[in-house]
Structure 1
């Protein structure tokens, strides 16, 4: 019976689920990894349906469907042969204390970045991006933001801990440069006067070629360090029903993947995928979309920083 146990698990649904079946580590700082996958099971900043705290687990579970492929279509390289990826599990925090959560995110991510790791952050609600940006700005300074979302998240009338106000606060804190940033997929109202961000709304994006959207983004961010944040509700609910604030008229997964692949070569330094709420999902299609987008983001990072 000894041969049955303690084997490397290449099967799909047996044993604990890590992102892409990559190793689970308890000490990512001293690992030989390039990318650390870290979950942020936080949804205390939601204004609609809660449940995004279960997102990291759902995304990991869905990602096993992508683990078998090896070289990811249509990329020209096998990511895991060039890039060491580990899964560090989820950030542990005291539930109910948003300020302490922010401090723990800042401390954990700052420590990882100081060890020359980059992070694929799995949300959690979109508020997690604000403390993440604070940590990244300590190392990279003011960044360009590429933001996929149905909402601008620039609203000034929410609370300090609100998943709709992060990009109201981030420019004021000097974390991102609005004039070098772009928001894609927006289809809710916002104050257009003095907005600052370049917006490609969903109606425009759906009528444009992916290459044209890519050109606008590249011209906007140029060679600045880029933080890319992907709220899964950028996708139309037909492709991502499992989220707290779905909005009809969004992008398709095909359009999004073409845009992301077209951004190869940008100076991406940070990345997250947020707002997956699996209790509203059907057949894991939202979680699978999020896992696929996370995998694409890691390819973007590796193509730039590992010179593949």
Structure 2
């Protein structure tokens, strides 16, 4: 089958069910889409188990070329979509085992995974896989919540504790963790302080707006350097006016345009994986949230393609020395 499948080759509604109709396997694949439909660690609304297919469906509206970065993200990375990990809805730890195994297989092959959540608890399983291959990693977390709450209803593993557990397990380079866009009401004071005590950098929505994108980007790039870096994007980073389909919406966030501008400024880092979480299709009647999520994934892939271009150019220069 010819790829990319643009609408002049096959109509958008004639879908294979994969992200942008990607094949399930290709030689020398460097990027993989993976569905992670686990959502029973959520504390309020559930339904993110249906997000991977909703995002894939919305991706039919996208075209293969990225005009800002001037790359064909999925062709240049020979991307694939391997479908969904078969999680166990009522067992987070066995689901973690399956997610970690799937991600570990990809990472050991040098393939960068993009996980489609699922609630934010799934990130811990992917970070466990990353530790096996890369050691502790840097993290850029786009989120309105820190997700460093120790427990909820006396449960240690839920979607609000992924990053405190990750730090406890030694999965993160704590001084290279950035939590961007934090905002909203709290049960108690000290939410941001808890992350700071872990060694994380917390930049709230207010601070991000006051400082400006360029200043924040400089700090992130200078701090992370060439360390292996994972990106976790909770869709509630975006204001619910632009992304209503999520489990714990927080008003006062960024527009979709501002979000894309921010993300597109993060070129040049050593990305080893991504995930996008907390899309709830039942609360997304016009597919606004799913389309934004698909577009963000297109941008993730563009960042990987840019990195591949830089790496190939460097190898070419070396070969001519």
Structure 2-normalised TM-score?
0.87
* Structure 2 residues without counterparts, runs of 5 or longer: 1-7, 313-321
User: Is the contact made by 2:73 and 2:298 (CA closer than 8 Å) also made in structure 1?
Assistant: no
* Alpha-carbon distance change, 9 to 103 in structure 1, aligned in 2, over 3 angstroms: farther
Q: C-alpha offsets along residues 110-159 of structure 1, whole Å, 9 cap, x if unaligned?
A: 11212221211000001000000000111010111100001000001232
Equivalent residue for 1:182?
A: 178
Match of 2:151 among 143, 151, 157: 157
Equivalent residue for 2:193?
A: 192
* Structure 1 residues without counterparts, runs of 5 or longer: 1-7
Equivalent residue for 2:219?
A: 216
User: Is the contact made by 2:274 and 2:300 (CA closer than 8 Å) also made in structure 1?
Assistant: yes
Shift in Å, 1:72:
1.2
Shift in Å, 1:238:
0.7
User: Is the contact made by 2:18 and 2:81 (CA closer than 8 Å) also made in structure 1?
Assistant: yes
Shift in Å, 1:32:
3.4
Shift in Å, 1:288:
0.8
Structure 1 position 86 matched with structure 2 position 80: yes
Q: C-alpha offsets along residues 157-197 of structure 1, whole Å, 9 cap, x if unaligned?
A: 23232000011111111100221111111004405152421
**How large is the RMSD of aligned CA atoms in angstroms?**
1.7
What is the 5 A alignment of 1:250-289?
A: 250-289=253-292
Q: C-alpha offsets along residues 208-251 of structure 1, whole Å, 9 cap, x if unaligned?
A: 43222211211231221100000000000011100000000111
**Aligned equivalents of 2:177 and 2:192: distance in 1?**
16
**Aligned equivalents of 1:122 and 1:76: distance in 2?**
24
Structure 1 position 148 matched with structure 2 position 149: no
Equivalent residue for 2:318?
A: none
**Aligned equivalents of 1:175 and 1:253: distance in 2?**
30
User: Is the contact made by 2:177 and 2:200 (CA closer than 8 Å) also made in structure 1?
Assistant: yes
Structure 1 position 172 matched with structure 2 position 172: no
Structure 1-normalised TM-score?
0.91
**Aligned equivalents of 2:17 and 2:101: distance in 1?**
26
What is the 5 A alignment of 1:41-120?
A: 41-66=37-62, 68=63, 70-120=64-114
Match of 2:118 among 105, 124, 143: 124
**Aligned equivalents of 1:213 and 1:78: distance in 2?**
27
Query: In structure 1, the residue corresponding to 2:298 is in which secondary structure?
Result: helix
User: Is the contact made by 2:235 and 2:279 (CA closer than 8 Å) also made in structure 1?
Assistant: yes
User: Is the contact made by 2:112 and 2:272 (CA closer than 8 Å) also made in structure 1?
Assistant: yes
**Aligned equivalents of 2:192 and 2:78: distance in 1?**
43
Structure 1 position 240 matched with structure 2 position 243: yes
Query: In structure 1, the residue corresponding to 2:289 is in which secondary structure?
Result: helix
* Alpha-carbon distance change, 191 to 261 in structure 1, aligned in 2, over 3 angstroms: closer
Moved over 4 A (4+): none
**Aligned equivalents of 2:247 and 2:75: distance in 1?**
36
**Aligned equivalents of 1:78 and 1:216: distance in 2?**
28
